[in-house]
Chains A and B, each alone.
Chain A
Amino acid sequence: MKNSSGYKWYRPISVIGCAAVVIVGCASIPPPTEQIAVAKSALASAASVGGSEYASVEMSAAQEKLDRAHQAMEKEDYENARWLAEQAQADARLAEKKAQSAKAQKAANVIQDDIRVLREEINRKSK
């Protein structure tokens, strides 16, 4: 019987311990300093290639998420800060790519226009 009562007393403690382990495991997320730095760098890079012009939605989203990541860092909400930083980085990289792609497409179009104009010139002159 004594064994039975001892068992009863230990059970809640083990449950609490277990929960504490889970909580500590969750709370042991380090501050995402690196992710924020990468996101910031990506945003700067995107801005340098004209991301605001060619991908304004992605750029503003990235900027907003980076800002919120900073706020989360201040609140020590590291998990949220990391997610925001990661998303900001993805958004910024997409903006950069969009800008680069749009520029390349523009350049390609310019050349196609050049070719068209030259062909018209040839046709006009050969008449």
Chain B
Amino acid sequence: MKKYHFLPMSLLAVAVLAACSSLPPNNALLDEASNDYSKAKASPQVTELAAIELKQAGDSLDKATHAWKEREDRALVEHLAHVAKQQVAIAQETANQKAAELAIATSSAERDKVRLEARTREADSAQRSAEAARQESEASQRKAEESQRSAETSQLQSEASQRQAIAEKQAASDAHLNTQVARQQAQDAENRSRQLEVQLTESEAQLKDMETQLKGMEAKKTDRGMVITLSEVVFDTNKAQLKSGGMRNVQKLADFLKKYPERKVMIEGFTDSRGSDSHNQSLSDKRASAVRTALLEMGISPERLTSRGYGESFPVASNDNAAGRQMNRRVEIIISDNSGNITPRE
């Protein structure tokens, strides 16, 4: 009995299986899902980042493959294959998402670093430009200071120049003054010299005039000045009386003295060596005095007239012969200079 029960059921099962195995062996959608899964499995990114999703996809693919191997309904196989394919894609996308998220994490850090670098550079740049500006400002300041210094120097120089100019002007002025003074001095000197010249000329003229006047009186130039010698002939022998001829000579002298009132005269009397000394001294005194008296009478003031006898001293010739003795008997009238000085006889 039991034997008969099994047989139809087995037959039915075989018939069902046979019907299934009659389906086309390949399923395009399943192949596609399988291919996608193989690729995903080969990608380290997917295996690492989407392991769970890939596992689910693999399970779904196994189910689909099993259904296909069991010759299940094609719609079921394709359904399972589609789900598997989508799950593989989900695994892929999950891996992509996680990779992107990882990239975001790492590149965020990088971006922060780069941003910091940029800001640092910006700050550095700002600092550099500030430094540059500061240096520029310092340079300008230095330049300004330099300008000021040079201006000050210029001013100093200018002041110095001015001072120098003033000094020069002063010097010039001084020089001018000096020149004027010198000119004045020169002028003065010239004037003086002219004056002197005039004076000289005058005195020369005076002298000439004097000489001319004194010529008649036989005046002689000596170391002591002009000396007029009145010879013995104007006096009588042994007398102190002037002869008329002698009086004319004295008159000429009086005229001369009137013309030159600043001049004084020294009247000196001399004798020869004959006779006693006292007689000779007395005679010489008297004769000198006689000339003086004559001049006083002619209006010459007494303070201008000095007389003195020297006796037989100071002979001008030999007393051994008559000619010599005559020359020694004389009266000498010494005319003073302009100031009235007469060098006294030693």
State the A residues within 8 Å of B (CB): 7, 10-11, 14-15, 18-19, 22, 83, 86-87, 90-91, 93-94, 97-98, 100-101, 104-105, 107-108, 111-112, 114-115, 118-119, 121-122, 125-126
Residues 107-137 of chain B, each 1 if its beta carbon lies under 8 Å from chain A, else 0: 1101100110110011001000000000000
Residue of A nearest to B125 (CB): A125
- Given A87-B82, A121-B118, A97 and B5 contact (CB-CB distance below 8 Å): no
Tell me, rounded to whole Å, the shortest Cβ–Cβ distance linking A60 to chain B.
14
CB distance from A33 to the nearest CB of B (A): 18
Q: Are B125 and A104 within 8 A (Cβ)?
A: no
Contact A97–B90 (Cβ < 8 Å): yes
Question: Which residue in B96, B108, B122 is a CB contact (below 8 Å) of A111?
Answer: B108
Query: How far is the CB of B58 from the nearest CB of chain A, in Å?
Result: 14
User: What is the distance, in angstroms, from B86's C-beta to the closest C-beta of chain A?
Assistant: 4
Mostly, the A contact residues are helix
Q: How far does the Cβ of B100 sit from chain A's closest Cβ, in whole Å? A: 3
**Other A-B pairs beyond A104-B104, A118-B115, A125-B122, 14, CB < 8 Å:** A7-B4, A19-B12, A22-B16, A97-B90, A97-B93, A101-B96, A105-B96, A107-B104, A108-B103, A108-B104, A115-B107, A119-B114, A122-B117, A125-B118
Give B54-98 interface residues, CB cut-off 8 Å to A: 75-76, 79, 82-83, 86-87, 89-90, 93-94, 96-98
Residue of A with least CB distance to B82 = A87
Decide if A111 touches B117 in the complex (CB within 8 Å). no
- Tier of interface size on chain B: 35 or more
Within 8 A of A (CB), among B1-45: 4-5, 8-9, 12, 16
Q: List A contacts of B89 (CB < 8 A).
A: 94, 97
| Chain A neighbourhood of B76, CB < 8 A | 83
Decide: A107 near B100, CB < 8 A? Known: A11-B8, A112-B107, A118-B111.
yes
Asked whether A91 lies within 8 Å of B12 as measured between CB atoms, the reply is no
The 9 A-B residue pairs with the shortest CB-CB distance, nearest first, are A104-B100, A90-B86, A97-B93, A101-B97, A108-B103, A101-B96, A83-B79, A111-B107, A118-B114
B-side contacts of A90, CB under 8 Å:
82-83, 86-87, 90
B100 and A105 contacting across the interface, CB-CB below 8 Å: yes
Q: Are A14 and B9 interface neighbours, CB within 8 A?
A: yes
Q: B122 contacts A18, CB within 8 Å?
A: no
- Nearest to A62 among chain B residues (CB) is B86
B101 in the interface (beta carbon within 8 A): yes
Q: Which of B9, B12, B16, B111 contacts A115 (CB 8 A)?
A: B111
**25 cross-chain CB contacts under 8 A:** A7-B4, A10-B4, A15-B8, A19-B12, A83-B75, A86-B79, A87-B79, A87-B82, A90-B87, A94-B90, A97-B90, A97-B93, A98-B93, A104-B98, A108-B100, A108-B101, A108-B103, A111-B111, A112-B103, A112-B107, A114-B111, A115-B111, A115-B114, A118-B111, A118-B115
